Amino acid sequence: MKHMYAPAGMEISDAEEIAGLLQVRLADLTDLSLTLKHVHWNVIGLGFTSIHELMDQQAEVVRGMIDEVAERITALGAIAGGLPTQVAENRTSDADYALGRGPVMAHLGALDKVYERVITGHRGAIERVGDVDAVTEDLLIGQTAKLDLNHWFIRAHVSDTEGKLATAGTESEMEAAATSAHLLQPGGETERVESEDEEELVPLT
């Protein structure tokens, strides 16, 4: 649908470009909120209660961001694309979250990679809108601060006393899950984690 108007003082072409960037941020935030609820429902093992509750708290924060971004898109004269197919099309992830039912540390390792992707996308959008729309820039900066805080809560579980992340150097959610899963059980056992496609064995060594 053709972009018909822009906020006062802004060119329609600029509003259209910024709305397009925000559609991607909207999709990533929606995907993140659903992923956090998925972990809330499917995390198991030692530390379950605190992480079960933390996921709900973080999902609530992210849902507030979703509404802010969607309303900014409409204020820019565009339609906020929040339907399932639109989210799947616009998100930066090529696939759904990798883990199904799994232990606390495996999910936290995987979530570290999820937050990395979403926050990196927000920072990239901030750089692109800064010279054109200070309102959208301010919105994204505020959201990035909240996302950084959420990410810190995740990373505090998967780092050592020197600040080294168990997920450092990992490329995928499943790889990050595997490298993090040993942190609560260093005795050399293995624990089974169900991915969305198949059940995989996550090493605890």
CATH code of the domain covering residue 84: 1.20.1260.10
Mean pLDDT in residue range 151-170: 93
Report the pLDDT value the prediction gives residue 182, as an integer from 0 to 100: 72
At residue 92 the predicted structure's pLDDT band, cuts being 50, 70 and 90, is: very high
Residue 16 placed within a domain: yes
Mean pLDDT in residue range 177-196: 59
Bridge partners of 201, per DSSP, are 192
Q: What is the average pLDDT score of the chain?
A: 89
Residue 85 placed within a domain: yes
Residue 185 has pLDDT above 90, yes or no: no
Domains held by the chain: number: 1
Mean pLDDT in residue range 128-142: 96
Residue 5 placed within a domain: no
Residue 7 placed within a domain: no
Report the pLDDT value the prediction gives residue 4, as an integer from 0 to 100: 75
At residue 196 the predicted structure's pLDDT band, cuts being 50, 70 and 90, is: low
Residue 107 has pLDDT above 90, yes or no: yes
Show the tokens assigned to 63.
């849902």
Residue 69 has pLDDT above 50, yes or no: yes
At residue 188 the predicted structure's pLDDT band, cuts being 50, 70 and 90, is: very low
Report the pLDDT value the prediction gives residue 161, as an integer from 0 to 100: 87
Position 199: which residue type?
Answer: E
Residue 43 has pLDDT above 90, yes or no: yes
At residue 3 the predicted structure's pLDDT band, cuts being 50, 70 and 90, is: confident
Per the structure, the complete domain to which residue 87 belongs is given by 12-203
Position 65: which residue type?
Answer: M
